[in-house]
């Protein structure tokens, strides 16, 4: 196997698992990795053709889940959300314990403004893997968008306790504390978010939007000295 395929086997090991293992299934594994390569090159239609054909040749649950996961990822990149959701649901009907799949499904629901189903999906992801920091982060961001700031803070703090460099969680905490008029906490998480990769101008722009929609005391303009 070449270096690129070795890389894909490691990077996507959670999804590939033991799919198409064995000497006589090697050709099918090569096809799966070819599709993954096309997916990574944004050639999603070409990847889908291979994956849909490969789906008919699956024999094990892991094979079906691997192929369906990448089918879903391709549809997501192409903004075809209905077949994407259907593919993820098929994966979960086979193996309901896949935390990442629940979390991906939650992201799709949230993108559609379906916050109720998004929250349920993220909670399912956490139930499957309580140490999944991205599920906690995504749940927190959903609560933030719903205006449930204290719940958002709890979730994002949990995400950072597991993985301390998730800038999205720090960013969300900055925004939540701004709304709740907690100046020092806002500044602290702003600095943490920027240190870990957040774009400071994007965060400040979001803060300005929040400020424009709030009744702030005069001294609160000092918050812009971040």
Q: What is the DSSP string of 198-209?
A: --HHHHHHHHHH
Task: State how far the Cα of 5 lies from the Cα of 8, in Å rounded to an integer.
Answer: 5
Count of CB atoms within 10 A of residue 129's CB? 16
In the predicted model, is pLDDT for residue 78 greater than 60? yes
The predicted structure's pLDDT at residue 10: 82
The pLDDT score that the predictor gives to residue 5 is 66
- Those residues whose C-beta lies under 8 Å from the C-beta of residue 222, and which sit 6 or more positions away, are 183
Average pLDDT over residues 205-212: 89
Q: What is the domain partition of the chain in residue ranges?
A: 1-91
pLDDT digits (tens, 9 = 90+) for 93-137: 999 999 999 999 999 999 999 999 999 999 999 999 999 999 999
pLDDT in tens, 188-206: 999 999 999 999 999 999 9
Given a cut of 60, whether residue 223 has pLDDT beyond it is no
pLDDT at 212: 85
Neighbours of 103 (CB within 10 A): 24
Tell me the backbone φ, ψ of residue 147, rounded to 5 degrees.
80, 15
Q: How far apart are CA 129 and CA 110, in angstroms?
A: 20
pLDDT of residue 73: 96
- For residue 8, the model assigns a pLDDT of 79
Task: Tell me the C-alpha distance between 58 and 51, whole Å.
Answer: 10
């Amino acid at each position: 196997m070449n270096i690129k395929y070795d890389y894909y086997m490691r990077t996507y090991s959670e999804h590939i698992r033991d799919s198409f293992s064995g000497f006589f299934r090697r050709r099918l594994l090569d096809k799966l990795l070819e599709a993954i390569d096309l997916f990574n090159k944004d050639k999603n239609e070409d990847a889908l053709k291979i994956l849909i054909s490969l789906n008919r040749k699956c024999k094990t649950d892991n094979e079906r889940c691997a192929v369906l996961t990448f089918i879903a990822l391709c549809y997501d990149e192409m903004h075809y959300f209905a077949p994407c959701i259907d593919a993820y649901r098929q994966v979960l009907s086979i193996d309901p314990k896949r935390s990442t799949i629940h979390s991906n499904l939650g992201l799709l629901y949230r993108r559609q403004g379906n916050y109720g189903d998004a929250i349920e999906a993220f909670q399912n992801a956490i139930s499957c893997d309580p140490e999944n920091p991205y599920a906690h982060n995504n749940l927190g961001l959903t609560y933030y968008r719903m205006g449930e700031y204290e719940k958002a803070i709890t979730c994002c703090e949990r995400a950072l306790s597991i993985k301390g460099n998730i800038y999205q969680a720090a960013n969300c905490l900055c925004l939540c504390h701004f709304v709740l008029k907690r100046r020092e906490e806002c500044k602290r998480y702003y600095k943490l978010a920027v240190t870990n990769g957040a774009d400071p101008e994007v965060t400040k722009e979001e803060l300005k939007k929040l400020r424009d929609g709030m009744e702030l005391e005069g001294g609160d303009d000092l918050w812009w000295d971040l």
